[in-house]
Structure 1
Amino acid sequence: MERNPQSRDRLRPVDLARGHGLSTQAVRNYEEAGILPAATRTPHGYRTYTSLHATALRAFLALVPGHGHQRAAAIMRAVNESAADEAFRLIDESHVQLLDDRRTLQAVESALRDLEPGTASEPVEVPGSGGTFIGPLAEKLGIRPATLRKWERAGLVRPRRDPLTGYRVYDAADVRDARLAHQLRRGGYLLEQIAPLIAQVRAAGGLAPLEAALLDWHARLSARGRAMLSWAAELEAYLRERGPSGT
């Protein structure tokens, strides 16, 4: 049966979903989340979409690899609410975050280059002769003491207890491990991924165990940067199709 010519530009949820490898429920969820403009409804209450919705969906799916789902959704909501300046601000923040992550990676590599073999086997120092307690170390790293305790449970740091006070004492090797854990967490690594790397660094006293992780980190940052280039054209196409009300 031939479709009504007047409906040629109309898309059903299933049409939009199939064109992007999604479920119809995902399309409805994106609309309800404000990622897509509101659909029109038939007299019977069925959703109908247009090429504008298809362009919006392409833009959103292109945004995700470079910005992540949450920020991509926020960017699309801002565009759909005719708040282009807010969308551009969110985009700028993503670029700043990418640059910050690159600097973090450089800091990790710099820290690793400074590691000296055998530091893990050096004698434990007590406060007053080079060691530090949990509070000052947490403050220096900009984290909470509870985070250091969590890292200890995960095996990332191994402070000893002062025999007189029972307080945790972090020597130079513990501080090194805490710094590495902090920087790798900022790089997106999970505790269970960091623990074996630090364990190998302790055992090997060198950089080799982290080389693969650093190469992967470089690759992921490059992929994000390239994704940010590719999505820009899709978002620009959506802004053009929306017209003056979307800018």
Structure 2
Amino acid sequence: MFTFKPAGLAREHGISAQAVRNYERDGFLPPAQRTPSGYRIYTEVHAAALRAYLALIPAYGHSTAGRIMGALTVGDVDGALTAVDHGHYQLLRDRETLEAVREAVDDLTAEPDATPDRAARTIGELARRLRVTPATVRNWEGAGILVPARDPATGYRVYRATDVRDAELAHLLRRGGYPLERIATVVQQVRTAGGTARLSSALDDWQRKLTEQGRAMLDAATRLSAYLGLIEPG
């Protein structure tokens, strides 16, 4: 079996030898044997583990990639595969959310009027428009979905046309069963895009990112399978 020094493993990926040692320290690579003088000896197993870990990062993120490799290091194959399953489920939910946003945007009212005070509403008026309770609207505000201004004279919430748009989008997604934290992320993307008229390009960019993540998952699966083939008995 071939053996490697840390620098040898690092060179393939353009990382530092210290990074390899850190990955071993954190449990992302199996423990290395040592020479009598204390130098680490890495093998093909470590090389496969490093390839798998680095492929997992763009597919699942640093945290999940670390959990997957950490589980394998202690022999918990089912735990590692469960983390992989959760990652695939999350990607599916993101795809469903994207599709829901595309459909919801088509049902929203026209773009808000450029005049700031046009169509301003109270919380009661907004709640009646959506046929929800004022408490529901306040919950959306608490989740960061709505960010209404305050009337300087009364201190009451004032919902502008952009707030009405965000509330309608939240209402549509809530009816679709999406949790508040996910809805808050979507609404923020609408705000960042500058409204529904400019949202199409943002959604296309989101779609591209999901496609890239899906392809990264395929690559990670290949690397992970190769590593499992080296460490599983039989």
Under a length normalisation based on structure 2, what TM-score does the superposition of the two structures give?
0.80
Change (3 A) 1:128 1:234: closer
* 2:29 alignment partner in structure 1: 36
Give, as a single letter, the amino acid of the residue that structure 2 aligns with 1:214. Answer: L
- Structure 2, unmatched stretches of 5+, are 171-179
Alignment length (residue pairs): 217
Pick aligned residue for 1:159 from 143, 146, 149: 149
The alignment partner of 1:116 has SS state of coil
Q: How many angstroms apart in 1 are the aligned matches of 2:217 and 2:230? A: 20
Change (3 A) 1:172 1:134: farther
Q: How many angstroms apart in 2 are the aligned matches of 1:21 and 1:35? A: 18
Q: How many angstroms apart in 2 are the aligned matches of 1:19 and 1:128? A: 62
Shift in Å at residue 210 of structure 1? 1.3
* 2:221 alignment partner in structure 1: 232
The alignment partner of 1:221 has SS state of helix
Contact 2:122 2:157 (C-alpha < 8 Å) held by counterparts: no
Pick aligned residue for 2:101 from 102, 108, 112: 108
Q: Does residue 158 of structure 2 align to residue 169 of structure 1?
A: yes
> How far does the alpha carbon of each residue in 1:29-62 deviate from its partner, in whole angstroms, 9 at most, with x for none?
1101110001111111111101100000011111
Change (3 A) 1:118 1:194: closer
* 1:56 alignment partner in structure 2: 49
Alignment of 1:45-84 (within 5 A): 45-84=38-77
* 2:208 alignment partner in structure 1: 219
Shift in Å at residue 84 of structure 1? 0.6
The alignment partner of 1:19 has SS state of helix
Give, as a single letter, the amino acid of the residue that structure 1 aligns with 2:159. Answer: Y
Q: How many angstroms apart in 2 are the aligned matches of 1:98 and 1:158? A: 32
- The root-mean-square deviation of aligned C-alpha atoms, in Å, is 3.0
Give, as a single letter, the amino acid of the residue that structure 1 aligns with 2:199. Answer: L
Contact 2:27 2:69 (C-alpha < 8 Å) held by counterparts: yes
* 2:137 alignment partner in structure 1: 137
The alignment partner of 1:48 has SS state of strand
* 1:123 alignment partner in structure 2: 119
Shift in Å at residue 212 of structure 1? 1.4
Contact 2:127 2:134 (C-alpha < 8 Å) held by counterparts: no
Q: How many angstroms apart in 2 are the aligned matches of 1:130 and 1:17? A: 58
- Range 213-222 or range 106-115, more displaced: 106-115
The alignment partner of 1:89 has SS state of helix
> How far does the alpha carbon of each residue in 1:121-154 deviate from its partner, in whole angstroms, 9 at most, with x for none?
6521224433589853242x4xx72x53xx77xx
Pick aligned residue for 1:21 from 10, 14, 19: 14
- Identity among equivalent pairs (%): 42
Give, as a single letter, the amino acid of the residue that structure 2 aligns with 1:129. Answer: E
- Structure 1, unmatched stretches of 5+, are 1-7, 202-206
